[in-house]
Amino acid sequence: MIIDAHTHVWPDKIAHAALGANPVPGLVARGDGTVSGLMADMARSQVEISCCLGIANEARHVDRVNEFVADLVDKRRFGFGTVHVDLSVEENLASLRRHGVTAVKIHPLFQNYALNDPRLWEIFEAFGSEFAVITHVGEGGDAYRNTLSSPRMIRDIATQFPDLRLMACHFGGYKILDDAEEMLSGADVILETSWPPTLKTLRPERVRRLIQNHGAERVVFGSDWPMTSPQEEIEAIQGLGLTDDEEKSVLGGTLARVLGIDSPWAR
């Protein structure tokens, strides 16, 4: 049962504009960012469930994004909502609970606040183990925005909030994989595998070593659709030479356990 931890969708009328705001130079979308486009790619790639990650770049959009994410949820789509540090802890929690959202995406490149912002840590403190969190980590923007997330920040969050169900995108350090390996290998953090434009740009032996050193039970598959092809990213995982148990953990078992999804691959 393959579960994709990392996809983005928008309302049809703004999907094109949202994709145009991508800050990563040279990265071209492989999908259209619509719900129907995601479902078509899921059918091609045999993904059973996709996590749809909502992001509010500004505090005034938080509740609207959480409402949109909640409306997406069905047996094939799991919704990740949003928070923003310019709202109070109470306002953020109220929006999530009002819409029944149980997981959150943080994206410093778009939201323009750092993973070590004290206001964000207040939100994490309030989360406890109630909400799962997945966050972008690493580069992808301008020089300033690239300083807003780092493997060290992830390690510090995991240490400070041991009950937080924390997942770090891009193996914990997009384009700074050496730092991520040094800081996060074996740490109590779930690492996610997306690496746009494709995981195949990394050496398979390095990815296999990273997964096995960290533990496949703490790694989840993510495509970062629509910036990649889920089918190609699944093929990249399947080509790593992992054991059958390791591959099933990465492609769905670990995430099913973290999110409480019923799956024969969950351990």
pLDDT-derived band at 19 (thresholds 50, 70, 90) equals: confident
CA distance 171 to 184: 9
pLDDT-derived band at 18 (thresholds 50, 70, 90) equals: confident
Q: What angle do CA 6, 131, 97 make, to 5 degrees?
A: 110
In a domain, 77, yes or no: yes
**Cβ pair 240, 207 in contact under 8 A:** yes
In a domain, 101, yes or no: yes
pLDDT higher than 80, residue 26:
no
Domain limits for position 82: 3-259
pLDDT higher than 70, residue 23:
no
**Average pLDDT of the segment spanning 87-104:** 98
In a domain, 98, yes or no: yes
What are the residues whose beta carbons fall under 8 Å from the beta carbon of 5, sequence distance 6 or more? 51, 134, 167, 192, 220, 221, 222, 255
In a domain, 202, yes or no: yes
**Cβ pair 254, 6 in contact under 8 A:** no
**Cβ pair 159, 153 in contact under 8 A:** no
**Average pLDDT of the segment spanning 133-138:** 98
**pLDDT (tens digit per residue) in 44-87:** 999 999 999 999 999 999 999 999 999 999 999 999 999 999 99
In a domain, 267, yes or no: no
CATH of the domain at 251: 3.20.20.140
- DSSP for 207-245 reads HHHHHHHH-GGGEE----BTSS-HHHHHHHHHTS---HH
Total tally of structural domains belonging to the chain: 1
In a domain, 16, yes or no: yes
How high does pLDDT run on average in the chain?
95
- What pLDDT is attached to residue 168? 98
**Average pLDDT of the segment spanning 98-117:** 97
In a domain, 266, yes or no: no
pLDDT higher than 90, residue 24:
no
**Average pLDDT of the segment spanning 121-150:** 96
**pLDDT (tens digit per residue) in 242-260:** 999 999 999 999 999 999 9
- Amino acid at the residue 180: A
In a domain, 246, yes or no: yes
Q: 171: which 2 tokens?
A: 């193996």
